Amino acid sequence: MSAAIVVGVLAAGGTYLILQRGIVRVALGFVLLGHAATTLLIASGGVGTRAVSFAGAGADAADPLPQAFALTAIVISFGITAFLLALAFRSRDVLGDDDLERGP
Amino acid sequence: MNASAITLLLALPLTAGAVAVLLRYRRALQRTLTWVTLGTVLALSLALLTEVRTGGPLSVDAGGFPRGLAIVLGVDVLSALMLTIGSSMTLVGSVFAALSSEDDHPLFHPLILILWSGVALAFVTADLFNLFVAFEIMLIASYVLLTLRGGARQIRAGVLYVGTNLLASTAFLLGVGLIYGAVGTVNLAAVATAVRTDAGAMAGLTILLVAIVAKASLVPLHGWLPRTYVEAPPVVTAIFSALLTKAGVYVLYRLGSVVLVELDGFLTLMMVLAAVTMVVGVLGAVGGHDMRGILTFHMVSQVGYLVLPLGVWTRGAIVAGLFYLVQYVAVKGALFLAAATVVRLEGTDDLGRLGGLMRTRPWLGVAFLLPALALAGIPPTSGFLGKYLLVRAAFEAEAFWAGATAVVVSLFTLLSMIKIFNGAFWGDAPTDADTTASEPSRAAVTRVRTQAMIAVPLTIGLAALVLGPAAGGLLEVVGDAADALLDPAAYLAEVGR
């Protein structure tokens, strides 16, 4: 339940931000949406079991696969965030602003 | 052949991409590396194609992990066919880039190699999460390729492109998460069986489908494509057109084959989407005023033709769709390369500032005309055969309105091709006042180089002309692919064992 609420709040905030005009806000919006997806992935393995997997794993060992998914997704979204911020930086040089609708 | 060739197919371009970054100031070495790698990949794909046609689907567990943990890479006839046509067009594109000096950015060749690795991974993976990773590899390379010039227009297009695709990817990831939460696996074979009984997995699959529809740029999720592709460097547009949306179409066929076509309403949904996409795309194309603008709207329209078989799903329709897909990738690539040649030689592809090219560069006119006729579906080109088979299959399945739409849209396609031909090739050359801006780029291209550039689309155009009457061999190959799609049991057994 708590995971569902976290995903909902993150997705709502992310959706609001990606509808803005500035690239930096859009980038932050995608950060939030990425967190929503990561949380959902972790929750898909079940949030009840969260002990260490593999090493001396008992009955409450966490499912390791969603953690691997989440890690991959985090790395990818980190890379794309960096790229979006680089675009914003370049946009300031070319358009004088990170707002796409303004400038020449 | 050993199934580990599949691993080699992915490892080679990725490694070469990394090495090519190190060679970024050694242009000649970098080019050779790219061409040798793509050539090897093409040879491997052809060998795989022969192998899976006779011996059935192949699969390999990435990293040698046991089944259940490992990411399964599986190749059947469709995958091998897509690998073959995709790698050959990437090779053609990178050669053309060298001829037109569009590869002068040190990261051009590495990005092309990484782009191709992502596309190849999407073609062979049998794992939904891995499919997400494949799309991301290919998209990240394409983000950079699109914005390589870094001008104001590229920034605007780049943000729209990255935003749309990132949103679709996030939706894709959410879908994968829901599916894993419901059935506890992301292996395509296991998901295909589990999804029929599980409502949660069904919800995940629906989100997945929406994301793929956006990536394949079907109407109503097509708006990003015509507005962004035109801002890429011309040769990059040609490579994008051969690879990116086609990866989306491939995934639609794959998912359609293993599970979607058995679901209620999927066929009707696809048929409606296909027909609307054809019409909306071609209307946008007729209204365009520059060569690449018209051609990119056609990409949207043609995705409708490619997806139409998913709404009919008979053997005839799939054969027609796959035949159309193979010839279309080549033909569309040729059209974009012809447009890229015009941009390189004349400095613009705006129809208002071009004219009389048929008099000054007759062979360029032919090089554009042949693939243009194939795109519009004029006999005896390969495009005619593809459209004829497609329309016949639609009529046989009593989908009369969808077949009729395909015919009418062809007429509009011809109309927009005539518009380009009238604007750029017939008529009078533009007055000097219009062309002063483009003089430097004209002078920079040597005669031999010009001829070599024109030869690339011309060769593909001639191939399309020959492929129409001599389609027997290719039809046999796509027939095998269609059989495998209609009865995916062998593929599912191979990737899910």
Asked if residue B295 is part of any domain, the answer here is yes
State how many domains chain A has.
1
CB-closest option in B133, B166, B176 to A30: B166
User: What is the residue whose two structure tokens read 């002990």?
Assistant: A51
Indicate the pLDDT class of residue A33, thresholds 50, 70 and 90: very high
- DSSP annotation of B105: S
Residue B184 pLDDT: 85
Cβ–Cβ below 8 Å for A44 and B181: yes
Residue B243 pLDDT: 92
Smallest Cα–Cα separation from B316: which of B250, B389, B385? B389
Which range among B89-98, B477-486, B488-497 shows the weakest confidence by mean pLDDT? Answer: B488-497
Is-contact A40 A7, C-beta < 8 A? yes
Indicate the pLDDT class of residue B439, thresholds 50, 70 and 90: very low
Ramachandran category for residue B184: left, alpha or beta (phi over 0 → left; psi -120 to 50 → alpha)? left
- Distance from the Cα of B151 to chain A's closest Cα (Å) equals 7
Q: Provide the percentage of residues in chain B whose pLDDT is more than 90.
A: 54
Structural domain range at position A17: 2-49+62-95
User: Which chain A residues contact residue B174 at CB under 8 A?
Assistant: 36-37, 40
**Could you tell me which chain A residue has the CA closest to the CA of B167?**
A30
**Computed from CA positions of residues B35, B38, B41, B43, in that sequence, does the dihedral angle turn out positive or negative?**
negative
Asked if residue A34 is part of any domain, the answer here is yes
Cβ–Cβ below 8 Å for B170 and A30: yes
Structural domain range at position B179: 5-491
Cβ–Cβ below 8 Å for A100 and B159: yes
**Could you tell me if the ipTM is greater than 0.95?**
no
Asked if residue A101 is part of any domain, the answer here is no
What is residue B67's three-state secondary structure? coil
- Distance from the Cα of B120 to chain A's closest Cα (Å) equals 18
User: Which chain B residues contact residue A26 at CB under 8 A?
Assistant: 159, 163
Residue B434 CB neighbours (<10 A): 15
Asked if residue A73 is part of any domain, the answer here is yes
Which range among B8-22, B422-436, B443-457 shows the weakest confidence by mean pLDDT? Answer: B422-436
Asked if residue A29 is part of any domain, the answer here is yes
- Distance from the Cα of B230 to chain A's closest Cα (Å) equals 18
What are B182-210's pLDDT values in tens digits?
888 888 888 888 888 888 888 999 999 99
State how many domains chain B has.
1
What are B137-186's pLDDT values in tens digits?
999 999 999 988 888 888 888 989 999 999 999 999 999 999 998 888 88
Interface test with B, best of A41, A71, A93 (most B CBs within 10 A): A41
- Distance from the Cα of A58 to chain B's closest Cα (Å) equals 19
| B127 phi, psi to nearest 5 deg | -140, 125
B433: Cβ–Cβ under 8 A, 6 or more apart, which residues? none
* Beta-carbon contacts below 8 Å between A and B: 81
What are B300-342's pLDDT values in tens digits?
999 999 999 999 899 999 999 999 999 999 999 999 999 999 8
Asked if residue B497 is part of any domain, the answer here is no
| CATH code (residue A19) | 1.10.287
Res. B85: pLDDT tops 70? yes
Residue B134 CB neighbours (<10 A): 23
Asked if residue B264 is part of any domain, the answer here is yes
Residue B353 pLDDT: 84
Can you tell me the distance from the alpha carbon of B91 to that of B164, in angstroms, rounded to the nearest whole number? 28
Q: Provide the percentage of residues in chain A whose pLDDT is more than 70.
A: 94
Res. B438: pLDDT tops 70? no
Can you tell me the distance from the alpha carbon of B494 to that of B230, in angstroms, rounded to the nearest whole number? 41
The β-bridge partners of A22 are A99
Res. B347: pLDDT tops 90? no
Asked if residue A102 is part of any domain, the answer here is no
Token pair recorded at residue B103: 């590869």
Asked if residue A54 is part of any domain, the answer here is no
Asked if residue B353 is part of any domain, the answer here is yes
